[in-house]
Structure 1
Amino acid sequence: MSLLRWDNMLDGLAPLISRIGTPDFGPALMTLLHRFCGADLCSVFTLAETKPGVLVAESRDPEASAFARVASLRYAQRYWRRDVAALSTLGRAHRSVQILKRPARGIRDVEYQHECYTEGSVTERLSLYRRGRPSIIANAYRERDSGPFHPAQTQAFADLALCLHAVLERHAQLLESAPPLTDSAALARRLSESAALSPREAQVAALIMAGLDQAEIALRIGLKASSVITYRARAYQKLGVQTRAGLRDRLDALLSPHPG
């Protein structure tokens, strides 16, 4: 790789590195992968005890962000063990990063292909695999209208792989070492008791505090995304807040022990 190109990549990595361990990490990763690899969506999974967890799920298009998150959750919950190519590649990724390109048409599991690719008009996936603590799987996706990844974009993904893995690993470690999230069920009960929220309003507010977005909440509790938005708006109105940060501050004040 030329020095000029490496300088450009370092310049692109800087905003991502500055957001390690913060809620802005996912959007910064999406920006980086689009800039250098032409990705339309991205996801990152961590693997602990053979069970994947969703670390990042983003889209360049805000309207497609819900699909990115729901499809990632579906993959982790339903299809991980059926993705033979991923399992095989991860098995070889003990000593070095492994890169795999996979077109949607090459996926023979019809149900998996439909729910994780066809519904989001995804045509191809580029993946990075590395075993470790935790093991990391990072994916960049191209939508059908964009066409497959060009050779130069595939090469850029490979060029980024080692640095990208180090950044993702550190982000995952920081999140793992962060103070544990409040138990959402217990928080929901306390909100119902002390803040006059309905059970659904309290449940949605508690899951927001656990870091879930509206698509993840809808999938978790079996509601339409529009219903989640409604319950969130009602909870925010009753609590007198407008943002997630405001919600956290309000709950800290509401639920903290009073002196004396």
Structure 2
Amino acid sequence: MRPHGAPANPAAGDVASAVLAIGRPDFPNVLIDTLRRQADVGHCMVFALSRAGAAHCLLDAGNIPIGGDLGAAYAGQFHESDPNRDALFEGEGGAPIMLPAFAPRMYGARYRKIFFHDSGIVDKCAAAIWTGDTCFYVNFYRIAAQGRFSVAQRQRLETIAPAIAASIARHFQEKATPEQSLAVLFATRAPLSGLTPREREVCRRILEGFSSEAISQALGISLHSTLTYRKRAYERLGISSQSELFAIVLQLLAGPRSLN
């Protein structure tokens, strides 16, 4: 077992709110709030790209007033001239990828005018993940009033981007409710699938923010039984805290087989 207070992933729990919002109508708002809190992201846009050449804007949230227009323009034409396109289409395989650092010179003059000068965007980071024939392309922006991403903010985005991209892909691909999404992970993915049914129920409710008392009431068992199931589950998983349990979930979401 890992020492208490030493989570498997330092980002564990940091994006938990976005993970638990998968499938909910407020997912875009929870996502941008999470990104603002973790890396002061101003705006997020998500595109679905297919190998057949189609592009669709799936999400537009944040502080760019003309974000909807930009999304439509990119999906309609400009995705074909995106300098990240080659990297995107070389990334097939299921694992989230980070795209090259933003540099204005990478973009053509018309592209720069519409997407950066007219919108006020001064910096961006991007990640992508393939699920089947669809690439979910996730863009994080900052506008002039914010300035460019700091080194620390960029590093933070690189840390959380895999889990964020995987959560976005699961949200738009499956349209599952948070409860269903967690249930699938616990039923099919090791090491969570190695737990007993009751241990899974307890751990799922821990992830959803239930107290031990609330779990006992929901499952109709004693508080002593709830604590025992939690202890046994943590021992099987080699963890000692809720944050480490979140780390396992995030690793499974971001792993190459997480969306199969």
TM range (shorter): 0.5 to 0.7
Residue 138 of structure 1 aligns with which residue?
138
Which ranges of structure 1 fall in alignment gaps of 5 or more residues? 177-260
Counterpart CA distance in 1 for 2:66 and 2:154 is: 23
1:29 matched to which residue of 2? 31
Higher relative contact order (CA 8 A, sep 6+): 2
Three-state SS of the structure 2 residue aligned to 1:10 is: coil
- Measured at CA, do residues 104 and 76 of structure 1 come closer, stay the same or move farther in structure 2, by a change above 3 Å? farther
Partners of 2:103 and 2:45 in 1: how far apart? 16
- 1:142-161 pair list within 5 angstroms: 142-161=142-161
> What letter is aligned with 2:98?
I
Q: When the two structures are superposed, what TM-score results if normalisation uses the length of structure 1?
A: 0.58
Tell me how far 1:18 sits from its aligned partner: 2.5
3-state DSSP of counterpart to 2:161? helix
Q: Does residue 1:92 correspond to 2:95, yes or no?
A: no
How many aligned residue pairs are there? 170
Q: Distance in 1 between matches of 2:100 and 2:8?
A: 22
Amino acid at match of 1:173: Q
Question: After the TM superposition, which residues 72-221 of structure 1 pair with which residues of structure 2 at under 5 Å, given as runs?
Answer: 72-83=71-82, 85-95=83-93, 96-103=95-102, 105-133=104-132, 134-175=134-175
Partners of 1:53 and 1:175 lie apart in 2 by: 17
Q: 1:56 aligns with which of 55, 59, 69?
A: 59
Offset at 1:146?
A: 1.7
Question: Measured at CA, do residues 108 and 18 of structure 1 come closer, stay the same or move farther in structure 2, by a change above 3 Å?
Answer: closer
**Structure 1 counterpart of 2:47:** 45
CA offset at residue 113 of structure 1? 1.3
The C-alpha deviation readout for 1:149-171, integer Å capped at 9, x for no partner, is: 11111111111122122211111
Cα offset, 1:4, TM superposition: 6.7
Alpha-carbon shift at residue 33 of structure 1 (Å): 1.4
> In structure 2, how many angstroms separate the alpha carbons of the residues matched to 1:167 and 1:117?
27
- Looking at structure 1, the residues matched to 76 and 20 of structure 2 have their Cα atoms a distance apart, in angstroms, of 31
1:184 paired residue number: none
**Alignment match, 2:220:** none
**What runs of 5+ residues in structure 2 fail to find an aligned partner?**
177-260
1:126 offset after TM fit, Å?
A: 0.3
The percent identity for this pair of structures is 20
Give the SS at the match of 2:15: helix
Aligned-partner Cα distance in 2 for 1:53–1:46: 5
Q: In structure 1, how many angstroms separate the alpha carbons of the residues matched to 2:103 and 2:144?
A: 10
Task: Indicate the RMSD between aligned Cα atoms, in angstroms.
Answer: 2.5
- Structure (1 or 2) with the greater helix fraction: 1
Question: For residues 118 and 15 of structure 1, what CA distance do their matches in structure 2 show?
Answer: 33
- 1:84-104 Cα distance to aligned partner (Å, 9 max, x none): x21111123124422124446
Structure 1 residues 4 and 172: CA distance shift in structure 2, 3 A: same
Q: Is the 8 A contact 1:16 1:29 kept in 2?
A: yes
Alignment-mate amino acid for residue 141 of structure 1: Y
Cα deviation per residue 1:175-198 (whole Å; 9 max; x = unaligned)?
Answer: 49xxxxxxxxxxxxxxxxxxxxxx
Structure 1 residue 174, shift from structure 2 partner: 2.6
CA distance in 2, matches of 1:107, 1:173: 30
What is residue 18 of structure 1 aligned with on the other side? 20
Q: Name the CA distance, whole Å, in 2 between partners of 1:101 and 1:35.
A: 23
Q: Which amino acid aligns with 2:20?
A: S
